[in-house]
Chains A and B, each alone.
Chain A
Amino acid sequence: MANKVIYAVYDDPEQLKDGARKLVSAGVKVKDVFSPFPVHGIDPIIGITRTRLGIVSFMFGITGTALAVLGIWYFNIFDWPMNIGGKPSFHYYQNVPAFIPVTFEFTVLCAAHGMAITYLIRNKTLPGMPARNPDPRSTNDKFIIEVRTADNHGHSAEAIAELLRQSPVTEINERQC
Chain B
Amino acid sequence: MHAEAAIREPLILGHKTYHDITEDIVRPIENKAPRGWYILMTIASLIAAYGTGCILYLISKGIGTWGLNKTVDWAWDITNFVWWVGIGHAGTLISAVLLLFRQKWRMAINRSAEAMTIFAVIMAATFPGIHMGRIWMAYWVLPLPNQFGSLWVNFNSPLLWDVFAISTYFSVSLVFWYIGLIPDFATIRDKVTKPMMKKVYGILSFGWTGNAKAWTRFEEVSLVLAGIATPLVFSVHSVVSFDFATSIVPGWHTTIFPPYFVSGAVFSGFAMVQTLLLVMRKVMHLEAYITKKHIEYMNIVIIVTGSIVGVAYITELFISWYSGVEYESYAFINRATGPYWWAYWSMMTCNVISPQLFWFKKLRTHLGFTFFMSIIVNIGMWFERFVIIVTSLHRDYLPSAWTMFHPTWVDVGVFLGTIGIFFTLYLLFARYFPVLALNEVKSILKVSGESYKQEAAKHHHH
Kindly count the residue-residue contacts between A and B in the assembled complex, taking CB atoms under 8 Å apart: 206
Tier of interface size on chain B = 35 or more
A141→B232 contact, CB < 8 A: no
Give the Cβ gap from B84 to chain A, nearest Cβ, in Å.
19
B219→A38 contact, CB < 8 A: yes
Q: A116's contact among B152, B164, B225, by CB below 8 Å, is which? A: B225
A106 within 8 A of B: yes
Give the Cβ gap from B150 to chain A, nearest Cβ, in Å.
4
Tier of interface size on chain A = 35 or more
Indicate whether A36 sits within 8 Å of B439 (C-beta atoms), given known contacts A106-B168, A113-B175, A130-B202: yes
B224→A54 contact, CB < 8 A: yes
Q: How far is the CA of A173 from the CA of B212 in the complex (A)?
A: 19
Q: B211's contact among A32, A61, A109, by CB below 8 Å, is which? A: A32
A136 within 8 A of B: yes
B225→A112 contact, CB < 8 A: yes
A126→B206 contact, CB < 8 A: yes
B242→A101 contact, CB < 8 A: yes
Indicate whether A106 sits within 8 Å of B164 (C-beta atoms), given known contacts A36-B18, A57-B228, A131-B189: yes
Q: Which residue of A lies closest to B154 (CB)?
A: A82
* Chain A window 88-131, contacts with chain B (Cβ cutoff 8 Å), 1 for yes, 0 for no: 01000001001101101110110111011001101111111111
Instruction: Mark the stretch among B69-77, B155-163, B274-282 that contacts chain A.
Output: B155-163
A162 within 8 A of B: no
Give the Cβ gap from A42 to chain B, nearest Cβ, in Å.
6
A80→B151 contact, CB < 8 A: yes
Q: Given the complex, which residues of B lie within 8 Å of A119, measured CB to CB? A: 179, 217-218, 221
Q: A102's contact among B151, B161, B220, by CB below 8 Å, is which? A: B161
Chain B contacts to A: CB under 8 angstroms: 1, 17-19, 22, 143, 150-156, 158, 160-161, 164-165, 167-168, 171-172, 175-176, 179, 182-183, 186-187, 189-191, 202-203, 205-221, 224-225, 228-229, 231-232, 235, 239, 242, 438-440, 442-443, 446
Told that A14-B1, A32-B212, A104-B235 touch, could you supply 12 new A-B pairs with CB distance under 8 A?
Answer: A36-B18, A38-B443, A51-B217, A82-B154, A112-B228, A125-B209, A131-B202, A133-B190, A139-B187, A139-B190, A140-B18, A140-B22
Which 4 A-B residue pairs are closest in the complex by CB-CB distance?
Answer: A129-B207, A141-B18, A136-B190, A125-B206
